[in-house]
Amino acid sequence: MANRIDTLPTQKISDALDATKPQKRFTLSLSAQRFVRFMLSYGFLAIGAIFMLFPVFWMLTAALKPTWQITSRDIWIPSFWHKTAAGDSVRLLNLWVAPNEAGEGTQDVILFGSKRQYVTMLQAENLSNIIAIPRDQVGGFEVITLDDMQLNGLKWNNENYVLVGADSDNLLVVALSGIDMLDAVVVPKTQIRGGERTDVAVGDYTLEARLLEIEDRGMLSLIEAGPNIELSTVLPAAYAENAMLVPLGDLDDKKLLPIGDSEADQYTLLNGSTDERYILIEQADWRPVIGIDVLNQHAFTIPSTDFEAAAEPRIFNNGVFQVGNYTADDGATQEVAVVVQQEIQTGANPTMLVLPVEYLDSVKVVLSSSLLEPYPVNVDGTAVRVKDFTHPSVEEENIDLTQIPDEIAIIGDRQDMALIIPASSVQQLYDVFNSDLQRNLSVSFQVQNFVRAMIRQTGEATFLTFFKNSTIIAGLSIVGHLISCTMVGYAFGRLRAPGKNLLFAVVLATMMMPGFITVIPVYRIFRDLGMVDTLWPMFLRTFFGNAFLIFLLRQFFSTIPMELEEAARIDGASRLQTFFRILLPLLTPALATIVIFSFLWSWNNLFDAAIYLNSPRNYTVAIGLRQFLGMYQSDFNLLMAAATIVMLPTVLLFFFSQRYFIEGITLTGMKG
Amino acid sequence: MLRVSNPVTVWKTMSPIRRQEALTFYLWISPWLVGFIIWQLWPLLESLWLAFSNYRILNVPQFVGLANIEKLINDADFWQSLRVTLGYVIGVVPIGSAIALTAAMALAQKLQGVNFWRTIYFLPSIVSGVAAAVMWWYVFNPDTGLINTALAALGINGPGWLSDPYWALPSVIIVGWWSGIGGQVVIYLAGLKGIPQSLYESAEIDGADGWAKFRNITLPMLSPTIYFNMVVGIIGAFQVFDVAFSITEGGPNKATQVYIYNVYQEAFLNQNMGYASLLSWVLFIMILILTLIVTAISRSRVYYESEVEG
């Protein structure tokens, strides 16, 4: 009974609440509801669109990038790296943007070879209030930057400290607030190693310090208090025009001397004055090259025995060549240079390719790293390695291609060369933080990637061959489907015969039958026909119709009124005449759909290509692209260019005939 | 249903004109009929016979009884490929279908630029499987790929994706979503367009909110389309091949050894064509059973308008 009494008031309360509900219930106005729903819809669609489009964007940008940018995570847009010529050599040096020496504004610089490590150091005597913190109480370390100098910081009890030393259990720290950055100096790591070790007692603790001579401040005992930081030494780009290319062996008397605001190793030249010093910008492997035309016209192969070498090799435009006299059979003698020494085979007389010295004026030396992937060419019986610069890759951007012919022969021997600049001409040379150094880039699309991807050899074929094969197959598939499917679709749509419904049910049933189930017997048939590794298996079956397209056409045929055809028949037109003159023109949209789907299926057909096509000359783009994958492990830009090329026809087709695509897809859905 | 009567009697009762029309019919469908027998019916039966043979391309197939089935039961590759494929189907079909339906629902409410959005979603589904695989290979690249680059920008160290045994299958599933959602969106959109607006209007008068309308009108009316997309999705997902073939080659550690790739390897690399035929039939039967299950489930749930009208 008590229960009953208790429930009564609550009942009343809920009744009262119900009465107020219309007012209390939180409602948005109808338009606000719609707005929220639209915003949610747009948000969802936008996220989906990013998922759909970003991979494509990523692929396209990669296809337009030079190789080195593929691995640079900070470059999203394909860019060109600005360069400057190094003196009169063919070398192009990368330009960087760095703060200028005064720290006001920026300027173009080139990187001076060495990078040096620096450490921020604190004057030991001026430290006070050292605290020891047990190691296990310290959470994490972080680098603190103060007045452009970096210190090893750590947090403890919500205070910032700077690490200055350690003993077996404790870290020795000083509160950040207690540090005067005027005591701090940034010292090259190399100099620290030269300093004498000393222990400095500060309060109760002993710190390991180094005695170092610091300019303007004298001998100080300093302790390391910062991370190792790398600074790059740079010089303004304008100095690049003073650069000279000399054999590395000519450099002599290396000395570390101050220059500008930094210091650098400086050399004298073996044959030059001892007062003239030079700084070394770069040392690298170079090779002499000459236009292949010059060799084809003037070079000839001689037996080594007919060549009488001169005592000294001679230098042509920095390229070193063995020269000597060649006496021909008729006794005439001429001065020639050895261009290529034939590989000596046992039993064969050694021969050499020589070039009369007057033609060596056009010799150039270029960076060996820009001569990758040469191919052999026969010049008067001698194999010469030739490099084609018609479609240069980025490695080749390191040299000025306008100064050399498109096709060059690699001749002579590799040479260690040095790129130097007279020290006297350099007034500015200074160190900058790596974080302040940026590549001088501007947006640029490397369209030649597409050309290079298309002409690159894959086995015995290029991508152009794959493209040709795919086009042939797609064309024949379209023809096959057009002929067979219109015929069968017409019959099912407009003719009456016993068993028609049963046969049409079979058509529908085969639509649902997965293709893989018949793969092996069909392979047997094609093998017995001798068609494996030909294009035939890729299109032959289209001439026997396709269930989906037959279904689609039957639907179209059924929608055309019978009267139209009957009228023509009464006028005396035959069945074929009415078919071609009356029905087909009405079916243009359906035929377009057939063309589109035939093309799409055959272009994207990977499984059949994987089974039937074995040799590269028969590959389609689908299987050819897969072959590329193995070759282009590192050249992602070329691989992506190839993938873009494979996608392009289908995407273009889609944009020009979107309606038919959507209709075809919708129709498949609607029959369910 | 089809009425089966004696063809001879039917033929005899026909007028000459009808007979001629029937002959024309048989003539015109002959490409398909011949093709059906050569390329489908006969191979279907032959593969059933090959499934119980020791066929290895160069020999004459011999009946080996249940030896292939015995091999199948003990074949670790088969069970692995089955696991991987089921994982793929479960990952791709229901979730992909849900995403596609949500996108289609969003698009169906008269938003700006329906064609634009639809194009964006549909475009991936026409892209060649290899090209898509190659593209995603680069997107998934652990060092230089889009995903790990983006994750690195957020301070996250991304996994190895396609080269990581744990992440490889999820990666392939993501590619499956990418290339599969668009076609489904288009079909759902058509399905949604077919729902009479009057149903929603009368529901609104009855005071139905958005969820109630979705639950009681959209879902039942759309159920045939959902059923169709599910069946087509399942059949397609069981036959996934391109990424496994072109990028992962079933790896790493057989984590992406999908069923058809396993069949391909058995048939054309190991040349066990008899055994591969059995594998094909097993998959065929599994797809059939699964389709029947989906059909059975949907029979109670799928609403066909004609049921009411007729």
Check pLDDT > 50 for residue A1.
no
Q: What is the pLDDT of residues A407-416, one digit of tens each?
A: 889 988 888 9
Check pLDDT > 90 for residue B231.
no
Rounded CA-CA distance A235/A107 in Å is 10
Question: How far is the first Cα of chain B from the last one, in angstroms, to the nearest whole number?
Answer: 16
Q: Give the distance from residue A583's alpha carbon to the nearest chain B alpha carbon, in angstroms.
A: 15
- On the 0-12 / 13-18 / 19+ scale of CB atoms within 10 A, B269 is exposed
Tally Cβ neighbours within 10 Å of residue A157.
Answer: 7
Strand partners, A172: A132, A165
Check pLDDT > 80 for residue A392.
no
Q: Kindly identify which residue of chain B lies nearest to residue A549, measuring between CA atoms.
A: B32
Residue A146 within any structural domain of the chain: no
Residue A133 within any structural domain of the chain: no
- How much is the average pLDDT of A580-586? 82
Check pLDDT > 50 for residue A672.
no
Q: Which residue do the tokens 């549909």 mark?
A: B122
Comparing CA positions, the residue from A308, A288, A290, A309 lying closest to residue A299 is A290
* Residue B247: CA count within 13 A, CB half-sphere: 30
Is A654 found in the same domain as A566?
yes
Asked whether the beta carbons of residue B2 and residue A49 sit closer than 8 angstroms, the reply is no
What is the per-residue pLDDT for B146? 85
- How much is the average pLDDT of A631-642? 80
Question: Quick one: chain A helix, strand, coil %, rounded to 5?
Answer: 45, 30, 25
Contacting B residues, span 150-189, partner chain A, CB-CB under 8 Å: 152, 177-178, 181-183, 186-187
Chain B contact set for A640 (CB, 8 A): 134-135, 138
- How much is the average pLDDT of A24-41? 74
Q: Which residues contact A147 (CB under 8 A, 6 or more apart)?
A: A181, A184
Does the CB of B263 have a partner CB in chain A at under 8 Å? yes
Residue A448 within any structural domain of the chain: no
Asked whether the beta carbons of residue A672 and residue B227 sit closer than 8 angstroms, the reply is yes
Is A661 found in the same domain as A616?
yes
What is the per-residue pLDDT for B194? 80
Tally Cβ neighbours within 10 Å of residue B9.
Answer: 9
Rounded CA-CA distance A221/A398 in Å is 46
Is A483 found in the same domain as A612?
yes
- DSSP H or E segment with residue A255: strand A251-259
Asked whether the beta carbons of residue A44 and residue B22 sit closer than 8 angstroms, the reply is no
Rounded CA-CA distance B187/A671 in Å is 11
What is the per-residue pLDDT for A667? 67
Does the CB of A647 have a partner CB in chain B at under 8 Å? yes
Asked whether the beta carbons of residue B119 and residue A42 sit closer than 8 angstroms, the reply is no
Q: Which residue has the higher pLDDT, A573 or B42?
A: B42
* Residue B280: CA count within 13 A, CB half-sphere: 30
* Residue B28: CA count within 13 A, CB half-sphere: 25
Tokens standing for residue B95: 């979730």
Among A52, A495, A634, which would you mutate to test the B interface (most chain B Cβ atoms within 10 Å of its Cβ)? A52
Chain A contact set for B124 (CB, 8 A): 52, 56
Asked whether the bond before A374 is cis by omega within 30 degrees of 0, the reply is: no
- How much is the average pLDDT of B215-231? 84
Tokens standing for residue A8: 């009564």
Rounded CA-CA distance A302/A307 in Å is 8
Does the CB of B98 have a partner CB in chain A at under 8 Å? no
Is A470 found in the same domain as A404?
no
Rounded CA-CA distance A554/A587 in Å is 11
Q: Which residue do the tokens 């060996």 mark?
A: A368
Q: Are B152 and B64 in contact (CB under 8 A)?
A: no
Q: What is the pLDDT of residues A62-119, one digit of tens each?
A: 888 887 788 777 788 888 888 888 888 888 888 889 888 777 888 898 888 656 678 8
Residue A250 within any structural domain of the chain: no
Report the share of chain A in percent with pLDDT over 70: 92
Is A416 found in the same domain as A332?
yes
Asked whether the beta carbons of residue B127 and residue A651 sit closer than 8 angstroms, the reply is yes
Rounded CA-CA distance A222/A121 in Å is 6
> What does the CA dihedral A528, A531, A536, A540 come to, rounded to 10 degrees?
0
Residue A179 within any structural domain of the chain: no
Rounded CA-CA distance B142/B163 in Å is 8
Is A467 found in the same domain as A584?
yes
- Which residue type occupies B205? I
Chain A contact set for B43 (CB, 8 A): 517-518, 520-522, 525
Check pLDDT > 80 for residue A632.
no
Q: Give the distance from residue A582's alpha carbon to the nearest chain B alpha carbon, in angstroms.
A: 18
Q: How many domains does chain A have?
A: 2
Q: Are A318 and A407 in contact (CB under 8 A)?
A: no
Least trusted range by pLDDT, from A225-229, A535-539, B67-71? A225-229
Q: What is the pLDDT of residues A479-538, one digit of tens each?
A: 999 999 999 998 998 888 888 888 988 988 888 788 888 888 899 899 989 898 999 999
Q: What is the pLDDT of residues A313-329, one digit of tens each?
A: 888 888 888 888 888 87
Q: What is the pLDDT of residues A352-374, one digit of tens each?
A: 888 998 888 889 898 888 887 78
How far is C-alpha B246 from the chain's CA centre?
A: 19
Angle in degrees, CA A559, A562, A568, rounded to 5: 130
Q: Which residues contact A129 (CB under 8 A, 6 or more apart)?
A: A174, A175, A178, A203
Contacting A residues, span 485-514, partner chain B, CB-CB under 8 Å: 487-488, 490-492, 495-503, 505-507, 510, 512-514
- Which residue type occupies A623? I
What is the per-residue pLDDT for B92? 93
Check pLDDT > 60 for residue A594.
yes
Is A535 found in the same domain as A405?
no
Does the CB of A27 have a partner CB in chain B at under 8 Å? no
Rounded CA-CA distance A133/A181 in Å is 23
Check pLDDT > 60 for residue A19.
no
Is A418 found in the same domain as A299?
yes
Q: Give the distance from residue A514's alpha carbon to the nearest chain B alpha carbon, in angstroms.
A: 7
Check pLDDT > 50 for residue B182.
yes
Using pLDDT thresholds of 50, 70 and 90, give the confidence band for residue A544. very high
CA distances B230 to A45, A179, A303, B94, B187, Å, are 22, 69, 78, 8, 12
- How much is the average pLDDT of A424-434? 82
Using pLDDT thresholds of 50, 70 and 90, give the confidence band for residue A184. confident
Chain B contact set for A628 (CB, 8 A): 134
Residue A603 belongs to what domain range?
457-670
Chain B contact set for A522 (CB, 8 A): 39, 43
CA distances B264 to A375, A623, B171, B233, B241, Å, are 37, 15, 22, 21, 9
Q: Give the distance from residue B16's alpha carbon to the nearest chain A alpha carbon, in angstroms.
A: 12
Comparing CA positions, the residue from A416, A454, A409 lying closest to residue A286 is A416
The conformation of residue B33, written as its DSSP 8-state character, comes to H
Among B23, B49, B128, B247, which would you mutate to test the A interface (most chain A Cβ atoms within 10 Å of its Cβ)? B128
Tally Cβ neighbours within 10 Å of residue B3.
Answer: 5
Tally Cβ neighbours within 10 Å of residue A582.
Answer: 16
What is the per-residue pLDDT for A24? 46
pTM above 0.80, yes or no: no
Rounded CA-CA distance A243/A307 in Å is 37
Chain A contact set for B232 (CB, 8 A): 668
Q: Which residues contact B222 (CB under 8 A, 6 or more apart)?
A: B101, B188, B191, B192, B195
Q: Kindly identify which residue of chain B lies nearest to residue A602, measuring between CA atoms.
A: B128
Tokens standing for residue B206: 């009855």
Which range, A173-177, A259-263, A611-615, is most confident?
A611-615
Residue A218 within any structural domain of the chain: no
Is A500 found in the same domain as A420?
no
Check pLDDT > 80 for residue A30.
no
Give me the sign of the Cα torsion angle A482, A483, A485, A490.
positive
Q: What is the pLDDT of residues A124-145, one digit of tens each?
A: 877 777 888 887 777 677 777 7
Looking up residue A605, the CATH number of its domain turns out to be 1.10.3720.10
Does the CB of A333 have a partner CB in chain B at under 8 Å? no
Tally Cβ neighbours within 10 Å of residue A622.
Answer: 26
Residue A171 within any structural domain of the chain: no
**Closest to B191 (Cβ–Cβ): which among A38, A524, A669?**
A669
Q: Which residues contact A85 (CB under 8 A, 6 or more apart)?
A: A91, A92, A93, A240, A241, A400
**Closest to A518 (Cβ–Cβ): which among B14, B39, B268?**
B39
CATH of range B85-303; options 1.10.3720.10, 1.10.1750.10, 3.40.50.1820, 3.50.50.60: 1.10.3720.10
Q: What is the residue extent of each domain of chain B? A: 85-303
Residue A473 within any structural domain of the chain: yes
Q: Are A39 and A47 in contact (CB under 8 A)?
A: no
Is A507 found in the same domain as A392?
no
Q: Kindly identify which residue of chain B lies nearest to residue A528, measuring between CA atoms.
A: B57
Chain B contact set for A48 (CB, 8 A): 99, 103, 121, 181
Using pLDDT thresholds of 50, 70 and 90, give the confidence band for residue A4. very low
DSSP string, A17-30: HHHHHHHHS----H
Rounded CA-CA distance A236/A97 in Å is 10
DSSP string, A407-456: EEEE-S--EEEEEEEEGGG----EEEEGGG-EE-EEE---THHHHHHHHS
- How much is the average pLDDT of B73-83? 90
Least trusted range by pLDDT, from A280-289, A449-458, A658-667? A658-667
Check pLDDT > 60 for residue A573.
yes
What is the per-residue pLDDT for A472? 95
Asked whether the beta carbons of residue A636 and residue B138 sit closer than 8 angstroms, the reply is yes
Q: Which residue has the higher pLDDT, A247 or A33?
A: A247
Asked whether the beta carbons of residue A636 and residue B141 sit closer than 8 angstroms, the reply is yes
- On the 0-12 / 13-18 / 19+ scale of CB atoms within 10 A, B53 is buried
* Residue A543: CA count within 13 A, CB half-sphere: 9
Question: How far is the first Cα of chain A from the last one, in angstroms, to the nearest whole number?
Answer: 63
DSSP string, A319-383: EEE-EEEEE-TTS-EEEEEEEEEPPP-TTSPPEEEEEEGGGGGG-EEEEGGG--S-EEEEETTEE
